């Protein structure tokens, strides 16, 4: 009898990938969508379990799972796990891949085996209760024990975690943009208007920098602090354009001298990847993911005053232009536009092949 080839094994048992996410928004949503498209294009059957269907997931099956906004809502977490358990038993995936801490916890509570996990970023916010940060640290440290493989988009100091860089799906359509013709230094903020991203620091930095140089800002994003930020802009009397959420950031990058993101915690932000890919220097908080991505090409800031000093430096056209060139070279050294899907495909396929033998 002829040996069974890889192709014949897959004909007998199609590879079935279940992705679990607690959101289709932001970088995590973009990653889940990109992963679904990648594996669909390579013949995998894909289903996505999440809070609502995404119109971008054309070929993937949609499994509605309402994962609560915090794991502290235990009854809602258990209800989501029960719904997921029924879906898994019906759909029978070959590989289960959870994106984020809450999605992974729901997968474990479903009692249907150990999933793969990708952590895109984790940390505390001012609204977290006392002691929650310690519990989150314990959970992150224990995840590799209960997972098939624990992967993180940014470097992790915890044992058994594997750094697997994720490229923004937008990089394939971006190129280095010409530097703006205007004489007024323009700084772009791209991110959710919430407590984690701290957009108020950007407005304050513009106000401080405006005491030394003529600067303006653009804020691209929406969120629960939109009205607060709009009021802060009015009170600060800084020139800031609030453009809301944008699907294509390239036109805004073309107008900007630098991109700013000052957050409490971060993975590897797609906004900074896209900025650097387009040839824009970045001002960012010094988190492991941003330092890995930007290295010495970025200006790092932990306060509005430090960010303002960086803005003043980058108000020199030649400084901003040279910084953007270095940023473009750096991001192309550490990222490929297809990261991490070929690597995950090899990992998942090895697991699937082992199960078929």
| Residues 6+ away with beta carbon under 8 Å from 43 | 10, 14, 15
d(CA 189, CA 261): 6
What is the SS3 assignment for 270?
helix
The answer to whether the Cα torsion of 145, 147, 150, 153 is positive or negative is negative
pLDDT score for 55: 54
DSSP symbols for 291-320:
HHHHGGGSEE-SSHHHHHHHHHHHTSHHHH
Contact yes or no for 104/136 (Cβ under 8 A)? no
**pLDDT digits (tens), the chain, 357 positions:** 344 454 444 454 679 999 999 988 888 889 999 999 999 999 999 999 988 655 556 567 889 899 998 888 999 999 999 999 999 999 999 999 999 999 999 999 999 999 999 998 776 666 667 777 788 888 888 999 999 999 999 998 888 999 999 999 999 999 999 999 989 999 999 999 999 899 999 999 999 999 999 999 999 999 999 999 999 999 998 999 999 999 899 999 999 999 999 998 888 999 999 999 999 999 999 999 999 999 999 999 999 999 999 999 999 999 999 999 999 999 999 999 999 999 999 999 886 555 555
pLDDT at position 62, please? 86
What Cα–Cα distance (Å) separates residue 113 from each residue in 51, 54, 104, 168, 207?
21, 26, 11, 30, 53
Q: Which domains does the chain have, with CATH numbers?
A: 13-166+339-356 (3.40.50.2000), 171-334 (3.40.50.2000)
The CA distance from 252 to 219, in Å, is 10
Helix pair angle (74-91, 101-109), 10° resolution: 70
Length of the chain: 357
> For 18, phi and psi rounded to 5 degrees?
-105, 120
Structure tokens at 226: 């939109």
168 within 8 A of 27, measured Cβ to Cβ: yes
Beta bridge partners of 279: none
Query: Is the backbone peptide bond immediately before 340 cis, with ω within 30 degrees of 0?
Result: yes
Strand partners, 96: 18
Cα dihedral 52, 148, 7, 172, rounded to 10, equals 60
Paired with 260 in beta bridges are 189, 283
DSSP code at position 191: S
Q: pTM for this one?
A: 0.89
Contacts of 229 (CB under 8 A, 6+ apart): 193, 199, 200, 203, 219, 242
| CA–CA separation, 260 and 188 (whole Å) | 6
């Amino acid at each position: 009898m002829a040996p069974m080839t890889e192709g014949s094994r897959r004909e007998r048992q199609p590879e079935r990938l279940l992705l679990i996410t607690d959101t289709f928004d932001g970088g995590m949503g973009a990653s889940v969508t990109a992963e679904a498209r990648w594996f669909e294009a390579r013949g995998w059957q894909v289903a996505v379990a999440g809070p609502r269907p995404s119109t971008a997931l054309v070929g993937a099956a949609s499994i509605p799972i309402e994962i609560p906004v915090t794991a502290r809502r235990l009854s809602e977490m258990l209800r989501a796990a029960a719904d997921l358990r029924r879906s898994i038993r019906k759909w029978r995936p070959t590989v289960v891949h959870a994106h984020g801490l809450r999605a992974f916890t729901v997968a474990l509570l479903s009692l249907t085996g150990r999933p793969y996990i990708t952590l895109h970023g984790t940390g505390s916010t001012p609204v977290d209760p006392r002691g929650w940060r310690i519990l989150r640290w314990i959970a992150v440290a224990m995840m590799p024990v209960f997972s098939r493989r624990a992967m993180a988009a940014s470097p992790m100091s915890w044992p058994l975690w594997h750094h697997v860089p994720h490229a923004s799906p937008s990089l394939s359509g971006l190129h280095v943009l010409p530097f703006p013709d205007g004489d007024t230094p323009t700084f772009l903020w791209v991110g959710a208007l919430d407590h984690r991203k701290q957009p108020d620091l950007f407005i304050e930095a513009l106000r401080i920098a405006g005491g030394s140089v003529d600067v303006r800002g653009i804020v691209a994003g929406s969120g629960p602090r939109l009205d607060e930020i709009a009021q802060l802009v009015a009170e600060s009397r800084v020139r800031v354009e609030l453009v809301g959420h944008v699907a294509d950031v390239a036109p805004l990058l073309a107008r900007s001298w630098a991109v700013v993101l000052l957050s409490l915690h971060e993975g590897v932000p797609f906004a900074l990847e896209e900025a650097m890919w387009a040839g824009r220097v970045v001002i960012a908080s010094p988190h492991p993911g941003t330092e890995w991505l930007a290295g010495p090409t970025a200006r790092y800031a932990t306060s509005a005053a430090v960010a303002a000093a960086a803005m003043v430096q980058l108000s020199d056209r030649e400084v901003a232009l040279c910084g953007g060139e270095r940023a473009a070279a750096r991001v192309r050294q550490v990222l490929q536009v297809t990261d991490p899907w070929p690597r995950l495909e090899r990992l998942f396929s090895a697991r699937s092949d082992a199960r078929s033998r």
